[in-house]
Amino acid sequence: MMTDRRRVSGAGPHHRTDRFERPLVPSKKALVRRPSPLLADGLVTHIQREKVDSGLAGEQWEAYVEALRTHGWEVIEVEPADDCPDSVFVEDTVVMYRNVALITRPGAESRRAETAGVEEAVARLGCSVNWIWEPGTLDGGDVLKVGDTVYVGRGGRTNAAGVQQVRAAFEPLGARVVAVPVSKVLHLKSAVTALPDGTVIGHIPKIDRPSLFPGFLSVPEESGAHVVLLGGGKLLMAASAPKTAELLTDLGHDVVTVDISEFEKLEGCVTCLSVRLRELYA
Ligand SMILES: NC(=O)NCCC[C@H](N)C(=O)O
The Cα 224–Cα 243 span in angstroms is 8
Query: What is the structure's pLDDT at 118?
Result: 98
Query: What is the structure's pLDDT at 279?
Result: 83
pLDDT mean across residues, the chain:
93
The Cα 252–Cα 254 span in angstroms is 7
b/e sequence 57-73, b meaning 16+ C-beta within 10 Å? bbebbeebbebbeebeb
| Bond preceding residue 85 cis, omega within 30 of 0 | no
Q: Which of 95, 142, 186, 265 to mutate to test the pocket of ligand 1 (most atoms within 8 A of CB)?
A: 186
Q: Is the pLDDT of residue 56 over 50?
A: yes
- Using a pLDDT cut of 90, give the percent of the chain over it: 89
Query: What is the structure's pLDDT at 23?
Result: 81
Query: Do 171 and 130 meet the contact criterion of CB atoms below 8 Å apart?
Result: no
Q: Is position 272 annotated as part of the catalytic site? A: yes
Atom of ligand 1 nearest to the CA of 140: 1
Query: What is the structure's pLDDT at 15?
Result: 52
The Cα 90–Cα 226 span in angstroms is 16
Nearest in space to 243 (alpha carbons), one of 273, 218, 215:
218
* Residue 38 near ligand 1, beta carbon < 6 Å: no
Identify the residue whose C-alpha is closest to ligand 1 atom 1.
141
Helix or strand or coil: residue 3?
Answer: coil
The Cα 227–Cα 216 span in angstroms is 14
Identify the residue whose C-alpha is closest to ligand 1 atom 5.
268
In this prediction, residues 67-89 reach a mean pLDDT of: 98
pLDDT in tens, 125-174: 999 999 999 999 999 999 999 999 999 999 999 999 999 999 999 999 99
pLDDT in tens, 242-277: 999 999 999 999 999 999 999 999 999 999 999 999
In degrees to the nearest 10, what's the CA dihedral of 12, 17, 23, 28?
-60
Query: What is the structure's pLDDT at 25?
Result: 84
Query: What is the structure's pLDDT at 17?
Result: 66
The Cα 134–Cα 239 span in angstroms is 38
* Residue 272 near ligand 1, beta carbon < 6 Å: yes
- Using a pLDDT cut of 70, give the percent of the chain over it: 93
Q: Residue 211 CB: number of other CB atoms within 10 A?
A: 7
